[in-house]
Structure 1
């Protein structure tokens, strides 16, 4: 099922059992922020990106190393070298993703990026060979077709149920979302428009280990869609306010069953009721200081590629 109708989508989703696959990744991969700088093409539709003078390459590199060290305590985490010719490459989850579902061979996806500066990332043979030659994953290459589909930046996935939430913008059109739906092998995908000025779904929505969701209605063109998503997760559908979203609180990820990761800045922005709701859902919040990296318009979840 691929639909814009939240009622039809959730009527279908309620009949699905959480047996599609693991809700959390078994490993992670990063790309180092070598040559960290403002990518002017990306800045054209990323309102979260700071001006060039706010970029601090040394501090960003140190924070990224701290992130690598922290995640390595939780699950195997590989970090690939960066490239000054691809200054956005520290956000690899938009370009490379993996899928492993019952009855299907594990595969890796290569996304179609909107901007040429990011399209260069998709050509990296080392990352492709890691997935194909080292891990033995099958390739699904979407990078050469014309429809933008920036993988788990544009589509937030409930991996346990096989559900996709695809926010449409310049970074993902309807055809691109349909291609991702097929490539991830999902059971159902809900299409919706992001609010004007939003570029990726994963800055306004996070699904946490299939048990909870962080939802920012301000990031949706139709707040009723956000309400429907939050409602599906019941008391664990946690609604964020605009200030929490602006601090990247929705750009979070569960890398273990009971631990949620977000930037330290995002954590500081959480309201007491949000913290209490996360605790009630069984999540401890782990953080890494990433303010220098956030100058590039993304936060912790954007840095983390998942290996399923």
Structure 2
């Protein structure tokens, strides 16, 4: 089922079992911020990006290495080299995704990011090393920026797809099929928002972090939060701006977010996550956040 009908999706959610697959990834992968710089094409529809003068490639590289070291404490984490002509490649989850037995290649909106999908080494890793069937969405015309646009409850096989210039309705359908989901709820992001995973996180199928201001219709945000109540965080504007919504659980008991997000996280919201069984760990990523994304954007998941 693919629908914009929140009530119908909510009914489906209540009936969905948590046997679709593992709630968290088997491993994660990163792409180093080699060539880290302002990507002017991406800046056209990413209001979170800083001016070129704010980009510090040396600091971004060091923080990215710290991120790999941190994630490796809970799950195997590999890192591919970056390339000078793909300055946004440190956000690989928009381009490369996985589902059981499959690797999925997304269709990026901007040409500077479309180059990333052509990397033979990453495709070869999934195809030849991990033995995955490749589902390549990159040649078709509809933008579908994978788990940037599509937040997935992996335990239930349910998707939450925010539509914007980075993903249209046909792109949502293509991703729904590629990930083999049971149901996907489509909704419009607020003007100025580019990816769903900046304003919504589903954590191991047990909790949700929702930034209502990022949704074109805030009742949709409230309805999604209600699905995971009482383990749902409704972010303040300050938490939203600090990328609290761009968090991730790659194991069953830890939520990862940037250090700035961790400082912005309200004590009562930290308590909500603790009640769901999560501790919060952080990594300083301020240099990387200049590029318009935060911790979750950096993490590709291997299911």
Specify which of 241, 244, 256 is matched with residue 246 of structure 1: 241
Return the offset for 1:45. Answer: 0.2
Tell whether 2:269 aligns with 1:274: yes
User: Equivalent of 1:213, from 197, 208, 229?
Assistant: 208
- Which structure 2 residues correspond to residues 143-222 of structure 1 after superposition, within 5 A? 143-222=138-217
Residue of structure 2 in register with 1:132 after alignment: 127
Paired position in structure 1 for 2:84: 84
Distance 2:27 2:273 in 1: 23
Return the alpha-carbon distance in structure 1 between the equivalents of residues 251 and 192 of structure 2.
32
- Deviations 1:26-69, CA, capped at 9 Å, x for gaps: 00000000010000000000000000000000000000011111
- Report the 3-state secondary structure (helix = DSSP H, G, I; strand = E; otherwise coil) of the residue aligned with 2:131: coil
Q: Which residue of 278, 282, 286 maps to 1:291?
A: 286
Count of aligned pairs between the two proteins: 303
Residue matched to 1:103:
none
Cα-to-partner distance string for 1:260-293 (whole Å, 9 max, x where unaligned): 0000010000111111111111110011000000
**Unmatched tracts of structure 2, length 5 or more:** none
Q: TM-score, normalised by structure 2?
A: 0.99
> Match of 2:69?
69
Tell me, in whole angstroms, the C-alpha distance in 2 between the residues paired with 1:288 and 1:217.
Answer: 25
Cα distance in structure 2, aligned partners of 1:187 and 1:291 = 37
Give the distance between the partners of 1:294 and 1:234, measured in 2 at CA: 29
Alpha-carbon deviation of 1:18? 0.3
- Partner Cα separation in structure 2 for residue 242 and residue 153 of structure 1: 20
1:123-151 alpha-carbon deviations (Å, 9 max, x no partner): 00000000000000000000000000000
Find the residue that maps to 2:114 and give its secondary structure: helix
How much does 1:203 deviate?
0.3
Give, in whole Å, the separation in 2 of the partners of 1:74 and 1:9: 33
Write out the 4+ residue segments of structure 1 that deviate beyond 3 Å after TM superposition: none
The gaps in structure 1 that reach 5 residues or longer are 101-105
**Could you give the per-residue CA deviations for residues 204-258 of structure 1, whole angstroms, max 9, x where no partner exists?**
0000000000001000000000000000011012111111011000100001101
Match for residue 32 of structure 1?
Answer: 32
TM-score w.r.t. the length of structure 1 is: 0.98
Query: Within 1, Cα distance between the matches of 2:268 and 2:70?
Result: 27
Partner of 1:48: 48
Instruction: Supply the RMSD in Å over aligned alpha carbons.
Output: 0.5
